[in-house]
Structure 1
Amino acid sequence: MSLDKLQIIPLGGLGEFGMNCCAIRYGDHILVIDAGLMFPDEELLGVDIVVPDIGYLVENREQVKAILLTHGHEDHIGGLPWILTELRDVPVYGTEFTLAYVEGKLEEHKLLDDTEMLEMIPGEQFQIGPFRIQPIRVTHSLVDCVSLAIHTPVGTILHTGDFKVDLASPDGHPFDLQAFAELGRNGGVLALLQDSTNVDRPGHTPSELAVRPRLDEIFGRTKKRLFFSCFSSSIHRLKLAFELADKHDRKVAVIGRSLDNSTEIATDLGYIDIPPGILINGGQIKDYPPEKVCVLISGTQGEPMSALSRAAVDNHKHARIEPGDTVLLSSRIIPGNEKGIFRMIDHLVRRDANVIFDDGTQGIIHVSGHASQEELRLMINLVKPKYFIPVHGDYRHLKRHAELAASTGIPKQTFLLEDGDVLELTRDSATRRDKVRAGRILIDDGSTADVVDDLVIRDRRHLSEAGLLLPILAINKLTGLVEGAPEIIARGFAVPDPSILTEARQVIARTLDASSNEEKGDYGVIKEKIRTDLKRYIQKNTSRRPLIMPVILEI
């Protein structure tokens, strides 16, 4: 690459929510911003997680100098074990809290000892090759989050990460307006990559403190146990729950591994100050009067094996929900999770629990961590970008965001990029180049080794929709003759008429009769002939296309 050119190469997070990953390249130096995962939709049967295809980074592994993490949400750090498995010896930079989350994740995948983790401190700049990195404090639904101003010989690239403008953050670390304004005063940034999540929402996103009055009211009027559920990463919300429990004289039990882990990390790092004597373990819940207990419990999204889902069907060792108890879901309903959440709520209502969730009618019990339209405009006005690139969202969000940026009249040009696009910048120009390899990698069972290709997904979908037929033949290996009538086993294939399977056996018999001894001796050939003839017969008589897998047994 020419040293007067800089490349921005998104590898994930543009055209989908999640899987955020972006490469910044100057000469022989590549920085990677974020390494997220995406949870699969219903079509990806059996897939555990989805991570970005980093083929471009693997091809240029010697040039990859660092991975910079904006914050600790799964859609920004969840793909890190996969990426580090492919790219060895790459240092990982993050804030103190983000690295605490990363540490547990890398330890789980046995990568911790081989990974260099370096702390970024908001406001303190550091150098990586030709890049001068300036982490800037932003507010979000998680603590210790940063935007990254990357000063290069060509100009400054600003990647906002996830953010909203909260000047009264409960952790005492407000959004750093001054640092962004300073970027604008110093000539503006060359390119702004901005979070598109809430671009459809007018106005401003409420402060995290906006939920306190309603939650305080719920704590005050709840007569029996209060089961409080929120995202495990909502450290502000957990802090508030402890404060309100202390105010209303309730003991607190933390139920669920993810919540327990987040509470422990946040307490160790000083983000949560648990009042003395307030914390009890799950086994002690029954020892206190119901009106003296608050249970922090994981499972806001109705995950089948979460603590709240199991408690909803009376299948949890410690969390027992009784008539009159209140269950508060202080979170939003993530699109795609509606069915599981409402099924869980139905179970809770059957137990005569009072369920409070974010349906728009029960006051403010949850606020977003992403900037709405006016905050997005504010950021653009503060940093005065020459070029604008929306990131983090489906294509319709990116399109709407580009229109919003253009309406400010500030960016000289906006670019709607997708994963794999290459935007090449000089001080005075921006040009699209040929795409690089990008896409998604499907992983089973959370293991970085169990990669699933699209052919496997196609077969799983085929099985789920049409079922399976197993024609079984026994062939005498001495004589080459078929012993007995062929058997057909059907799984997931509803047979409309039993005579169809009888006729299918005859189809197989006719195929065998029409085959030469040489064909019968080649199991690969005879299997394919049986599959083809049987497929034609089944499709003609049932209009269905089950997966057909002939099995030949030698006897």
Structure 2
Amino acid sequence: MAQDKLKIVPLGGLGEFGMNCMAIRWQDDIIVIDAGLMFPEEELLGVDIVVPDISYLTENREKVRAILLTHGHEDHIGGLPWILSELNVPVYGTEFTLAYVEGKLEEHRLLDDADLNEMIPGKRLTLGPFSIMPIRVTHSLVDCVALAIHTPVGVVLHTGDFKIDLSPPDNKPFDLHAFAELGKQGVLLLLQDSTNVDRNGYTPSERAVRPKLDEIFSQTKKKLFFSCFSSSIHRIRLAMELAHEHGRKVAIIGRSLDNSTEIAQDLGYLDVPQGLVINPGQIRDFPANKLLIMISGTQGEPMSALSRAAVNNHKFAHIDADDTVLLSSRVIPGNEKSIYRMIDHLERRDAKVIHDDGQSGLIHVSGHGSQEELRLMINLVRPKFFVPVHGDYRHLKRHAELAGSMGVVEKTILLEDGDVLELDKGSATKTGKVTVGRVCIDSGGTSTDVVEDIVIRDRKHLSEDGIVLPIIAINKRTGLLENPPEIVMRGMAIPEEGLIAEARQVVQRTLEGSSSEEKADYGVIKEKIRNDLKRYIQKSTSRRPLIMPVILEI
């Protein structure tokens, strides 16, 4: 009978990076693996985050048993507040993952009603017909697991994000033995991370960055600014160890870094020597060569601490000539412009910038396995069927080809979001599609609005609140204003005369309070003008018009 088949239904993450979410269904029971978000492309105006459409789950709400989280990165847990507000089901994750989740749910006032349960690697849990064994894997974050899901037709193994690191800094290595055991028992389906399928060889261990970073610490004569992803606990720990060895005090700047280091300390992943960390306000009390400043903003986000410091607009972080700025992270595709713009500002300050350009030596390693690790995993578990997950279509296709060429797998299947794969002990067939898509979330102001469709949303927005165009003419050579800002308002449905004059003052004040470097960086200056005007108009009119600053170069 058709209902005696296991259904695998990807709701996000197959055909894009981010938004990872997958439903696994046996008859009247569904479990969900991960609940991620992705950040919007530039053309999604006014959208803060994008989460998967979970219509399939809400239509079957009484069948959903739980959400299981492989690890704590945003592309795996960031959609949880949105999903739990629609569907309050139990959530399972490792201790560190749940610490991140708690912070996120508290922010959205959902923590009191949430049912959070800790998963322990190696300890089995049962949900309806599913028996789940979390297996420790290594990644760029701590406390990550793969999930071996024992179902009535066989074992489905979901790797989560992983690389095979046998000597990680926290001495909790990748559990090769557990995967080999599964291979002996037989695996029906392997769902494997495709992120680095384009890279040959093996991904180096997290420990491999130590020699180069040690060298940078010993050669830096003045302040050392260190930026990495706030979730890279191993990297934060290494930076603190090196600071201690080289006699530098550590100041931590940026909310996300602050939160992560606090959680990592509470859970024993960071052992910070007494007196090593100082308050950002104490930076000026120490000589430059005795300071390590850990700062967030490695992707050049316009209002991040490092972007603001790069244009000399940060209360505590002042970057002087001959200071060293180390970006210990990769460039996320799509962020190249903002990162290189920030590097330009840093270079203008005569800072020495070290980033992952292939020339700087090993200052960053990926958290995802390269081709040989993907092959090793397939050889270890020897699955009957193989489905690549996590990546753009080209990554999934290449990964399916790699698995197919090994002669181990009986059948590789390429799935995209919404495809339904039906499995029994001997067959795997694509049988149809469910509704999937992107839900755009605008979390501006106090509420979280779902943007149903970007065009309808913009039309609605414009019809209700209008549009404001601040037009600023800046002299490209001098960075000075050519004439006072012009403000064009349309569709505001309120008397505009006094409002325009005041709005002009607001823009003028923003510009006067910005350095010439900020004015030369149109991304930063537009964001500042938009924020200040939005605040003023919302306060004085209770409206939220679309604000689109226009910069004219003269």
Aligning the two structures, in what range does the TM-score lie when normalised by the shorter sequence?
A: 0.7 to 0.9
Distance in 1, matches of 2:450 and 2:9, equals: 24
Q: Note if contact 2:197-2:371 (Cα within 8 Å) is conserved in structure 1.
A: yes
Alpha-carbon RMSD across the aligned residues, in angstroms, is 2.1
Query: What aligned pairs does 1:285-434 form with structure 2 within 5 A after superposition?
Result: 285-434=283-432
Relative distance call for 1:295 and 1:56 in structure 2 (3 A) is: same
Query: 1:151 — aligned with what?
Result: 150
Query: 2:252 — aligned with what?
Result: 254
How big is each residue's C-alpha offset from its partner over 1:138-197, in whole Å with a ceiling of 9 and x where there is no partner? 0000000000000011100000000000000101100000000000111x2100000000
C-alpha deviation, 1:454, in angstroms: 2.0
Amino acid at match of 1:439: G
C-alpha deviation, 1:231, in angstroms: 0.2
Query: 2:233 — aligned with what?
Result: 235
C-alpha deviation, 1:455, in angstroms: 4.4
How big is each residue's C-alpha offset from its partner over 1:204-225, in whole Å with a ceiling of 9 and x where there is no partner? 0010011000000000010000
More displaced 10-residue stretch of structure 1: 120-129 or 441-450: 441-450
Structure number with larger C-alpha Rg: 1
C-alpha deviation, 1:54, in angstroms: 0.2
Query: What aligned pairs does 1:497-516 form with structure 2 within 5 A after superposition?
Result: none
Query: 1:111 — aligned with what?
Result: 110
Q: Note if contact 1:45-1:457 (Cα within 8 Å) is conserved in structure 2.
A: no
Query: 2:160 — aligned with what?
Result: 161
Gapped regions of structure 1 (runs ≥ 5): 471-488, 493-546, 548-555
Query: 1:14 — aligned with what?
Result: 14
Q: Is 1:174 aligned to residue 173 of structure 2?
A: yes
- SS of aligned partner of 2:368: coil
Distance in 2, matches of 1:459 and 1:150, equals: 43
Match of 2:221 among 220, 223, 231: 223
Relative distance call for 1:284 and 1:57 in structure 2 (3 A) is: same
- SS of aligned partner of 1:83: helix
How big is each residue's C-alpha offset from its partner over 1:347-400, in whole Å with a ceiling of 9 and x where there is no partner? 111111111000000100000000100000000000011110000000000000
- SS of aligned partner of 2:112: helix
Amino acid at match of 1:249: G
Query: 2:281 — aligned with what?
Result: 283
Q: Note if contact 2:168-2:205 (Cα within 8 Å) is conserved in structure 1.
A: yes
Q: Note if contact 1:45-1:461 (Cα within 8 Å) is conserved in structure 2.
A: no
Q: Is 1:244 aligned to residue 242 of structure 2?
A: yes
Amino acid at match of 1:351: R
Q: Note if contact 1:72-1:97 (Cα within 8 Å) is conserved in structure 2.
A: yes
Query: 1:537 — aligned with what?
Result: none
Query: What aligned pairs does 1:399-478 form with structure 2 within 5 A after superposition?
Result: 399-445=397-443, 449-456=448-455, 459=458
Distance in 2, matches of 1:282 and 1:171, equals: 28
Count residues in correspondence: 470
Q: Note if contact 1:45-1:460 (Cα within 8 Å) is conserved in structure 2.
A: no
Query: What aligned pairs does 1:120-139 form with structure 2 within 5 A after superposition?
Result: 120-139=119-138
Query: 2:87 — aligned with what?
Result: 87
- SS of aligned partner of 2:162: coil
Distance in 2, matches of 1:468 and 1:224, equals: 47
Amino acid at match of 1:147: A
C-alpha deviation, 1:275, in angstroms: 1.2
Distance in 1, matches of 2:321 and 2:413, equals: 55
Amino acid at match of 1:62: E
How big is each residue's C-alpha offset from its partner over 1:259-313, in whole Å with a ceiling of 9 and x where there is no partner? 0000000011011111111110000000000000000000000011111111111
How big is each residue's C-alpha offset from its partner over 1:308-330, in whole Å with a ceiling of 9 and x where there is no partner? 11111111111111111100000
Distance in 2, matches of 1:111 and 1:277, equals: 36
Distance in 2, matches of 1:448 and 1:5, equals: 41
Distance in 1, matches of 2:382 and 2:433, equals: 28
Distance in 1, matches of 2:14 and 2:160, equals: 13
How big is each residue's C-alpha offset from its partner over 1:232-274, in whole Å with a ceiling of 9 and x where there is no partner? 0000000000000000000000000000000000011011111
Distance in 2, matches of 1:269 and 1:179, equals: 25
- SS of aligned partner of 1:122: coil
Distance in 2, matches of 1:282 and 1:460, equals: 45
How big is each residue's C-alpha offset from its partner over 1:396-425, in whole Å with a ceiling of 9 and x where there is no partner? 000000000001111111111010100000
Relative distance call for 1:141 and 1:441 in structure 2 (3 A) is: same
Distance in 1, matches of 2:489 and 2:103, equals: 45
Relative distance call for 1:285 and 1:460 in structure 2 (3 A) is: farther
Distance in 1, matches of 2:275 and 2:253, equals: 17
C-alpha deviation, 1:5, in angstroms: 1.2
Distance in 2, matches of 1:297 and 1:172, equals: 26
Distance in 1, matches of 2:252 and 2:454, equals: 42
Distance in 2, matches of 1:104 and 1:166, equals: 28
Match of 2:201 among 196, 200, 203: 203
Gapped regions of structure 2 (runs ≥ 5): 470-487, 492-545, 547-554
Query: 1:62 — aligned with what?
Result: 62
Query: What aligned pairs does 1:530-549 form with structure 2 within 5 A after superposition?
Result: none
Q: Note if contact 2:44-2:454 (Cα within 8 Å) is conserved in structure 1.
A: no
Q: Note if contact 2:158-2:192 (Cα within 8 Å) is conserved in structure 1.
A: yes
- SS of aligned partner of 1:114: coil
Q: Note if contact 2:451-2:457 (Cα within 8 Å) is conserved in structure 1.
A: no
Relative distance call for 1:217 and 1:61 in structure 2 (3 A) is: same
Amino acid at match of 1:296: M
Amino acid at match of 1:41: E
Q: Note if contact 1:93-1:119 (Cα within 8 Å) is conserved in structure 2.
A: yes
Relative distance call for 1:321 and 1:455 in structure 2 (3 A) is: closer
Query: 1:542 — aligned with what?
Result: none
Amino acid at match of 2:389: V
Query: 1:268 — aligned with what?
Result: 266
- SS of aligned partner of 1:451: strand
Distance in 2, matches of 1:389 and 1:380, equals: 11
Q: Note if contact 1:2-1:27 (Cα within 8 Å) is conserved in structure 2.
A: no
Distance in 1, matches of 2:183 and 2:73, equals: 28
Relative distance call for 1:74 and 1:468 in structure 2 (3 A) is: closer
Percent pairwise identity: 75
Distance in 2, matches of 1:362 and 1:291, equals: 22
Amino acid at match of 2:249: K
Relative distance call for 1:458 and 1:444 in structure 2 (3 A) is: closer
